[in-house]
A and B are shown apart, each in its own frame.
Chain A
C-alpha cells in the first residue's frame, strides 16, 4: 500500500518474522540467563577453589560465546531485517518512537560483546576478582537489554497511555511492560539452566561435577518457571479487551495457551524431581527432554504473543494490513487502490481510465471485464489480505477458507470484514473494489470436496 508488499508464497512474509523471532529468542534468553549463570558460578568456583568446576565453566563459556555472540547476535539483526521488509509501516512507527530505547539498548549490547570476549579470551589472565566482575558486568548488561526490548515488544500489544500522550516513557512503561519483563527474566533463567543441563550432561563424565551442576542450576530454573507463570498471568491480566477476545475466540490459541501451562508444569515437575531432588537422573536423554519441553513452551509463547494482536500489528496504531486506522474512511471513499502509492501506480500504468480526479470511479471499475476484475482483485488481495493469508495453499490460506462460498457470500464477508470476524481489519476499499476481490476469490476457490453434504441443486462448486 504505502510501501511495496513483499509476497512470500505459501508462508506470507510476516510468518518469516515469526520464524526468525522464535529461533532468536531461544538463543537470546540464554544469552541473558547464561550470562548470569556464568557470572554467579564463576564467582562460586573461584571462591571455593573448585578447579574442575572452573575448567567446566571455561568450556561452557566457549559454547556460550560461540552460540550467543555469533548466532544470537545475527538472528537478532535478522529480526530487525525482516520486520523492515514484511512490516515497514509498523517498523517505521516503532523506530521513530523508540529509537533512543534501541540506541540505549545498543550501548548495553556493546558492553555485552566486549565483556563476553574479555571474560572468555582472558579467562586465566585477568585477576580473579576482575574476571568475576567482568562476568557480572556482562550479566547485568544483558538483563538491561532484555528489559528495554521487553518494553518495546510489550508496546506492540498494549501501548497504554502512549495512544494519547505519544510520550516515549508512556510507551516504554506500558501496561504489558512489567509482566513481559518478569516472564522474560524467568524465561532467561529457566532456559539457561536447560542449556547448562544439556551441555553438562553431554560433556561431563565426572559424577561430582555432574551432580553439582544439576543441583546449583535447579533453583534458578525453578525460580524461572515461577516467574514465567507470574508474568504469564500478568500478561493475561493486562491484555487489551480485544486481545483477550481474540484469545477466547481462536480455538487454536486456547489449545496453545493450555499447552504452555502444561509444558511449564511438566518442566517444573521434572526439574524438581530430577536435578533438584535426584541429580543423578540428569542423563543426556533427561536433559534433552527438558530442553525440548522448554523450547516448545517458549516457541508457543512467542507465537501467541504475536497472534493476539489481531487486527493490529501495533495495537490501535497500525493495522495488520499495513495501514493506519485513521486512513480507513478515506480509502473507503476514494478507493484502496487509489490510496496507496504502489497500488496507485498500477492504476496509473494499466488502468488510467479508472481514475477520475484522483479517485477510483466505481462505475468504470464495475464495467471492467472479468479478467481485469480478477487482476485488480489479486492486487487488492496482496495488499489487503496477504499479511495474514496465503493464497491457495500455505499459512492460513484463503482458498480452503472459502470452499463452498459463492461470490455473494464472499462479497458480504469482504464488505463486513470486521463484523464477520471481529479480529480482522476493517474493509478499506470501495464497493467496486470489494466486488473485484470477491471475483478474484471465486477464481481461486478450490472445488468443493466430495463426500460433503450436497449443495442445493447438487452443485460441487459455487
Chain B
C-alpha cells in the first residue's frame, strides 16, 4: 500500500527530531508506571496470595499504590501516542483501523481494570480485613486485563511497522472493501517476542521500584522488611533479565531482513548490544547488593540504571520502527511547517508545570515527614 500524496495537508508542526525526542522521552517515562501494572500487578497479587511475610507486605504496598500508578501510566502514555500520530500517522492509522475493535477494546479493558485495582486496594485497607472474594477477583481480573492490553498494544504497534501484512489482513477482514476492524497481527513473527520482551523488562522495573519504595516511601516499615524486599527484588530482577534476554534474542532472530541489516550493521550494532545487555546492570546491582544495607544512594543508583535501560530500549525501538515504516514512506522526509510560537508556549508551560508539580510533591513529602 502506498501512502497518499498529502501535500495539501499541514506539514509537521515541529522538526522531525523534536517529534522523535518527545516520543522517545514520553515512552521512556510511560514505561515506568506502565511496567508496574503490566508485570507488577500480577507479581504483587501472587506475592500477596502466596508469598512470605515481606513478600506479602510488598505485594500489598504495590497494590495500594496501583490506582495512582495506573493514572500516571495512562497520563504519561499520552505523550508518545500524541507524537506517534504526528509523525507516523500514515502507518499508525491504517494498522489500528484494520484491528479497530481490538484497538478500541484497550479502552474498554482499561476502565474495568482501573476500577478492579481500586476495588482490590480498598480490600487491602486495615491489613486486608476488608478483602472479599469479589475484590480479590477484581484484582486478578485487572492484572489479566493489563496483560491483554499489552498484547493488543504489541499487535497494534507491530502492525504499524509491518505494512506488508496489511493487504492480506484487510482482504480477510473486510466487507465491501471496508475494514471490519477484526484483524490481529498474529502471523507476524515479531509479535510474541515483542510482547514477552516488555514483560521481562517490566519485571526488572518492578524490582527496581521495590527498592525505591522501601528506601523512600516506607519509613514505617522496619529494617527486616527492607532486607526482605532487597532479596525479593534481586530474584525478580534476575528472573526479569533472563526473561528479557531470551525474548530479546527471539525478537532479533525473527527481525525482517531490513531491520536486521540496520540494527546489526556498524555502528548501530553497538546500540543493539548495549540495549540487549543493559537489563543486567540493574539486575546485577540488585542481586549483588541483596544482602547489604539498603541505602537511598544505592536505590538511586538502581533507579538510574533502570531508567537508562528503559531509555536505551525506547531509542532502539524507535530506530527499529523507523526502519520498518521506511518500507512505506520516509518519516524523516516529511515536509515541515514549524509552529515556533506554539512550541515555545508548550515548552514554557512544560517548565512551569514541572515547577508546579514539583511544589505539590514537595508539600506531599513535607506532609509525609
What residues make up the interface of A, taking CB atoms closer than 8 Å to B? 2-8, 13, 16, 66, 69-71, 73-75, 77-78, 80-82, 84-85, 88, 91-93, 95-97, 99-104, 106-111, 113-115, 117-118, 121-122, 125-127, 130, 134, 137, 166, 168-169, 324, 326, 340-343, 345-346, 349, 375, 378-379, 381-383, 386
Contacts and interface: CB of A to CB of B under 8 A. Distances in A.
B186 interface: no
B2 interface: yes
Interface string B73-115: 0110011011101100110111011101001101100110011
Given A341-B1, A341-B4, A85 B71 contact: no
A4 B341 CA distance: 34
Contact of B345 (A13, A104, A346, A349): A104
A73 B71 contact: yes
Nearest to B348: A104
A342 B163 CA distance: 13
B56 to A, nearest CB: 23
From A6, A82, A97, A118, name the one whose CB has the most chain B CB atoms within 10 angstroms: A6
Given A70-B114, A85-B104, A102-B82, A7 B8 contact: no
12 contacts: A73-B74, A84-B93, A92-B89, A103-B79, A104-B349, A108-B349, A111-B356, A113-B72, A118-B361, A168-B13, A169-B342, A378-B177
Contacts of A378: 176-177
Contacts of B343: 100
B185 to A, nearest CB: 15
A360 B174 CA distance: 23
B356 A137 contact: yes
A168 B82 CA distance: 17
B353 A108 contact: yes
Return the 9 tightest CB-CB contacts between A and B, nearest first: A100-B342, A7-B178, A378-B176, A379-B177, A382-B178, A107-B353, A125-B367, A88-B93, A78-B107
From A106, A127, A375, name the one whose CB has the most chain B CB atoms within 10 angstroms: A106
Contacts of B167: 345, 349
Interface string B242-261: 00000000000000000000
Contact of B78 (A77, A92, A383): A77
Contacts, number: 213
B177 A168 contact: no
Contact of B11 (A71, A96, A343): A96
Interface of B: 1-4, 6, 8-14, 22, 67-68, 70-72, 74-75, 78-79, 81-83, 85-86, 89-90, 92-94, 96-98, 100, 103-104, 106-107, 110-111, 114-115, 118, 167, 170-171, 174-181, 337, 339, 341-343, 345-346, 349-350, 352-353, 356-357, 360-361, 363-364, 367-368
Given A92-B9, A95-B89, A104-B346, A379 B75 contact: no
A66 B368 contact: no
Contact of A74 (B14, B92, B110): B110
Contacts of A134: 360, 363
B138 to A, nearest CB: 13
Contacts of B367: 122, 125-127
Given A100-B339, A168-B339, A110 B75 contact: yes
A125 B369 CA distance: 10
Given A7-B176, A85-B181, A114-B357, A99 B97 contact: no
B96 A85 contact: yes
Given A82-B104, A345-B167, A381-B176, A74 B12 contact: no
Contact of A114 (B85, B100, B360): B360
A383 B353 contact: no
Nearest to A107: B353
Contacts of B10: 93, 96-97, 166
Contacts of B4: 2, 340-341
A96 B336 CA distance: 10
B114 A74 contact: yes
Contacts of A85: 93, 96-97, 100, 103-104, 181
A342 B68 contact: no
A28 to B, nearest CB: 15
Contacts of A5: 97, 177-179
A290 B171 CA distance: 50
A4 B178 contact: yes
A452 to B, nearest CB: 30
A81 B152 CA distance: 13
A169 B22 CA distance: 22
A341 B85 contact: no
B175 A96 contact: no
A137 B357 CA distance: 10
A318 to B, nearest CB: 9
Nearest to B107: A78
Contact of B342 (A16, A74, A111, A168): A168
A70 B180 contact: no
A70 B115 contact: yes
Nearest to A348: B167
A383 B70 CA distance: 38
A81 B177 contact: no
A395 to B, nearest CB: 15
Given A70-B115, A97-B13, A99-B13, A88 B89 contact: yes
B170 A342 contact: yes
Given A84-B93, A169-B341, A93 B178 contact: no
Given A95-B86, A104-B346, A168-B341, A110 B353 contact: yes
B106 A383 contact: no
A349 B180 CA distance: 19
A100 B345 contact: yes
A81 B89 contact: no
Contacts of A102: 82
Contact of A66 (B1, B83, B118, B361): B118
Contacts of A71: 111
Contacts of A122: 363-364, 367
B78 A3 contact: no
